[in-house]
């Protein structure tokens, strides 16, 4: 194998090993934390639209479903807490989901897109904004 070919193969191998595997679920707590901390995550909802969650740097998470008309079913706005543990993004709200902790696996599918899967098997898509 010629020197230029060896360099090209080496560079390609380095790129493939260093590139994020977008088909993989994240399992690194700090990677998950940096993905959402200080950002809004917009969950796609089945009937159209998005449900925004703001993951503040201080461990608070705020949700607002008022634009989706969720006030008929639950408190449209609520602030809870979030953390990352064991490769999962976890959150708990005072009344939403009966104050139960929910944890999610996260898989990036693009620069600002992701898939999520909750511990109970429920899954969906989201996009990340600022």
Query: Residue 53's pLDDT is what?
Result: 95
More confident residue, 12 or 129: 129
DSSP reduced 3-state for 10: helix
pLDDT grade for 67, boundaries at 50, 70 and 90: low
How many domains are there within the chain? 1
The DSSP element (H or E) to which 8 belongs, if any, is: helix 3-18
Nearest to 101 by CA among 115, 81, 122: 81
Domain membership of residue 68 as a residue range: 21-129
CB pairs under 8 A, 24+ apart, for 43-52? 43/116, 43/124, 43/125, 43/126, 44/124, 44/125, 44/126, 44/127, 50/127, 52/129
Query: Residue 69's pLDDT is what?
Result: 61
Asked if the structure places residue 37 within a domain, the reply is yes
Asked if the structure places residue 43 within a domain, the reply is yes
Asked if the structure places residue 10 within a domain, the reply is no
Asked if the structure places residue 13 within a domain, the reply is no
Asked if the structure places residue 6 within a domain, the reply is no
Query: In this structure, what are the phi and psi dihedrals at residue 122, rounded to the nearest 5 degrees?
Result: -65, 140
Say what the pTM is: 0.76
Contacts of 93 (CB under 8 A, 6+ apart): 61, 63, 78, 79, 80, 99
Which CATH number goes with the domain that contains 90?
2.40.128
Asked if the structure places residue 16 within a domain, the reply is no
Query: In this structure, what are the phi and psi dihedrals at residue 79, rounded to the nearest 5 degrees?
Result: -120, 130
Q: What mean pLDDT is reported for the chain?
A: 81
Asked if the structure places residue 108 within a domain, the reply is yes
Given a contact cutoff of 8 angstroms between Cβ atoms, the answer to whether 1 and 8 are in contact is no
Asked if the structure places residue 12 within a domain, the reply is no
Given a contact cutoff of 8 angstroms between Cβ atoms, the answer to whether 28 and 87 are in contact is yes
| pLDDT at 93 > cutoff 50 | yes
pLDDT digits (tens, 9 = 90+) for 72-81: 555 678 999 9
């Amino acid at each position: 194998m010629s020197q230029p070919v060896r360099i090209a193969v080496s560079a390609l191998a380095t790129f493939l090993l260093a590139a994020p595997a977008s088909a993989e679920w994240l399992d690194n707590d700090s990677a998950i934390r940096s993905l959402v901390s200080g950002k809004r995550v917009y969950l796609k909802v089945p009937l159209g639209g998005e449900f925004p969650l703001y993951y503040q740097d201080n461990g608070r998470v705020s949700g607002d479903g008022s634009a989706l008309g969720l006030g008929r079913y639950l408190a449209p706005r609520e602030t809870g807490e979030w953390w990352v543990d064991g490769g999962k993004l976890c959150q708990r709200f005072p009344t939403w989901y009966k104050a139960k902790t929910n944890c999610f696996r996260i898989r990036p599918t693009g620069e600002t897109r992701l898939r999520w899967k909750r511990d109970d098997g429920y899954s969906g898509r989201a996009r990340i904004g600022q």
